């Protein structure tokens, strides 16, 4: 099946950019949708683990890909196996510290959910990696929620600041959405793979399902992605005392006082965002409105997508449409 062969190779190419060899199960889970590569009027149908195993074996026999201890990578890229093993060890240590710190977010009013993102979620962290998170805040209290999260992370001395070149083991609070508008509008292969790798960490199971129902577009890029009961693998249980404090503060701020605080917090934060030269820098995206705050001023997305397209061409895979970024500033 040529469409599956190319889809598997494309998936391995994508993760090779991240120095991240994949297991057979991971190739199946994060498989790039064959429809991204080949225009077809016929339905593709289900793609089983057996189908993936058969194609991986064929690609390995032909020398197009290599394999070591159940991990698959591009031919000549054997070294990424050791990179992955080492980064998994680093990631394990970082998860322990991350979860210890994260429990304090139980005291953040209007925090409705939190996903772990980036290298920590992928188990691909290096020593200088920070803690990327996607925050879900209560609608109408987005800026108040951010204010409290910034305060808590600052008190913990674990907040990544705007001019930090690197910030090991610091919270990078770079993306917020609200619980009534869970859809991410910036569709791309990069974002689809990023959101497919999210780890629900401090969030109710139903909200996890609601988030992915709102972002079903992920399957346009990641063919086999789906939510199941085993999806939540990393969790920071709510601290009952801190959570009680957050609810008490919410009770007080569910009032005209809270409305005023939200208005002033929004005004102050918008002024800070507009004054920051990174807001207008090419190659990233800064979003600030009533339902979303996104701070990716120097995104890796454009570079990764460019390398992905180049990697396909080197393997002789010519998709009918090249992948593009999700609409970064040019």
- Collapse the DSSP code of 47 into the 3-class scheme (helix H, G, I; strand E, B; otherwise coil) and give the result: coil
* β-pair partners for 67: 72
Spatial contact of 131 and 170, defined as CB atoms under 8 Å apart: yes
* β-pair partners for 181: 178
The pTM (predicted TM-score) of the whole model is 0.94
Distances, alpha carbon 31 to alpha carbons 193, 306, 313, in Å: 9, 19, 18
- The predicted-structure confidence for 12-49, as pLDDT tens digits, reads as follows 999 999 999 999 999 999 999 999 998 765 667 899 99
What pLDDT, on a 0 to 100 scale, did the predictor assign at position 39? 76
d(C-alpha 73, C-alpha 180), whole Å: 40
Phi and psi angles of residue 273, each rounded to the nearest 5 degrees, phi first: -65, -45
**Between 216 and 42, where is the model more confident?**
216
- The predicted-structure confidence for 89-145, as pLDDT tens digits, reads as follows 999 999 999 999 999 999 999 999 999 999 999 999 999 999 999 999 999 999 999
- Please, what are the domains in the chain? 2-77+302-314 (1.10.10), 90-299 (no CATH)
d(C-alpha 309, C-alpha 166), whole Å: 28
Spatial contact of 201 and 211, defined as CB atoms under 8 Å apart: no
Hey, what are 82's tokens?
């050791």
Spatial contact of 285 and 329, defined as CB atoms under 8 Å apart: yes
- The predicted-structure confidence for 228-287, as pLDDT tens digits, reads as follows 655 555 788 889 999 999 999 999 999 999 999 999 999 999 999 999 988 898 889 999
Neighbours of 160 (CB within 10 A): 19
What pLDDT, on a 0 to 100 scale, did the predictor assign at position 281? 87
Spatial contact of 186 and 286, defined as CB atoms under 8 Å apart: no
What pLDDT, on a 0 to 100 scale, did the predictor assign at position 278? 86
What pLDDT, on a 0 to 100 scale, did the predictor assign at position 307? 98
What pLDDT, on a 0 to 100 scale, did the predictor assign at position 165? 74
């Amino acid at each position: 099946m040529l469409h599956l062969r190319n889809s598997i190779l494309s998936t391995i190419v994508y993760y090779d950019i991240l120095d991240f060899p994949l297991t057979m199960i991971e190739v199946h889970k994060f498989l790039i949708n064959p429809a991204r590569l080949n225009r077809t009027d016929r339905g593709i149908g289900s793609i089983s683990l057996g189908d993936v195993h058969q194609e991986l074996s064929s690609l390995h026999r032909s020398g197009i890909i290599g394999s070591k201890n159940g991990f698959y990578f591009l031919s000549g890229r054997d070294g990424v196996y050791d990179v992955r093993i080492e980064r998994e060890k680093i990631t394990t240590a970082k998860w322990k510290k991350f979860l210890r710190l994260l429990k304090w977010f139980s005291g953040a009013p209007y925090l409705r959910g939190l996903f772990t993102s980036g290298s920590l979620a992928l188990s691909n962290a290096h020593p200088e990696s920070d803690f990327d998170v996607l925050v879900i805040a209560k609608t109408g209290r987005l800026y108040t929620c951010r204010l409290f999260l910034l305060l808590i992370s600052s008190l913990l001395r674990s907040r990544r600041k705007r001019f930090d070149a690197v910030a090991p083991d610091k919270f990078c609070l770079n993306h917020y959405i609200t619980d009534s508008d869970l859809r991410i509008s910036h569709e791309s292969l990069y974002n689809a793979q990023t959101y497919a790798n999210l780890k629900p960490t401090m969030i109710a199971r139903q909200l996890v399902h609601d988030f992915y129902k709102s972002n079903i577009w992920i399957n346009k890029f990641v063919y086999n992605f789906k939510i199941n009961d085993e999806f939540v693998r990393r969790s920071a249980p709510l601290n009952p005392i801190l959570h009680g404090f957050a609810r008490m503060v919410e009770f007080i701020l569910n009032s005209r006082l809270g409305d005023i605080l939200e208005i002033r917090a929004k005004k102050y934060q918008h002024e800070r965002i507009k004054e920051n030269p990174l807001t207008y820098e090419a190659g990233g995206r800064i979003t600030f409105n009533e339902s979303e705050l996104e701070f990716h001023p120097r995104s890796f997305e454009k570079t990764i997508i460019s390398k992905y397209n180049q990697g396909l061409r080197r393997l002789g895979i010519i998709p009918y449409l090249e992948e593009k970024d999700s609409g970064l500033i040019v």
